[in-house]
Amino acid sequence: MKQVFNVQGMTCGHCEKSVTTAIRLLDPQAQVQIDRSQNHVEVESTQTREALAEAIREEGYQVAA
């Protein structure tokens, strides 16, 4: 299932990697696409929206509701 998140605080490629890694720890099969200029994170995953958002928050980024 594809989910789109608005994620604040990604300033460079390293941030994108951190977010991607956090999601993949939760779901190794997850497909992650990030457009940081738009704060846009698209995730194809079997995990719940809440679990994915929590993983991103734990990396230190804000996820809009």
In angstroms, the CA 58 to CA 45 distance is 18
Contact call for residue 30 and Cu ion (CB under 5 A): no
Contact call for residue 39 and Cu ion (CB under 5 A): no
Could you tell me which stretch among 10-18, 24-32, 42-50, 53-61 binds Cu ion (CB under 5 A)? 10-18
Looking at 14, 38, 64, 65, which residue binds Cu ion (CB under 5 A)?
A: 14
Contact call for residue 65 and Cu ion (CB under 5 A): no
In angstroms, the CA 48 to CA 33 distance is 17
In angstroms, the CA 34 to CA 38 distance is 9
